[in-house]
Amino acid sequence: MTVRDWDAEIDAWTERFRHIPDPPPVFAAAIRDGWDPDERRALAEDAQAYATQHEGWVAQITAAGWDLVRLDTRGDECGACARYSGSPYSLTGETPGVPPPPPLPICPACRHTLNLLTPFFMQSTGMDAGDLVRDAVPYEPVD
Q: Give 36-66 pLDDT, tens digit per residue.
A: 999 999 999 999 999 999 999 999 999 999 9
CA 22/CA 73 separation, integer angstroms: 14
Q: How confident is the model at residue 80 (pLDDT cuts 50, 70, 90)?
A: confident
Is the pLDDT score of 111 beyond 70?
A: yes
Query: How do residues 7-30 score in pLDDT, each as one tens digit?
Result: 999 999 999 999 988 899 999 999
Q: Write the burial class of residue 119 (CB in 10 Å: 0-12 exposed, 13-18 middle, 19+ buried).
A: exposed
- Residue 143 is predicted with a pLDDT of 63
Q: Which DSSP string do the residues of the chain spell out, in sequence order?
A: -----HHHHHHHHHHHHTSSSS--HHHHHHHHH---HHHHHHHHHHHHHHHHHHHHHHHHHHHTT--EEEEE--TT--TTTGGGTT-EEESSS-STT-PPPPPSSSSTT---EEEE--HHHHHHHT--HHHHHHH--------
CB distance 121 to 78 below 8 Å: no
- Residue 20 is predicted with a pLDDT of 86
CB distance 128 to 122 below 8 Å: yes
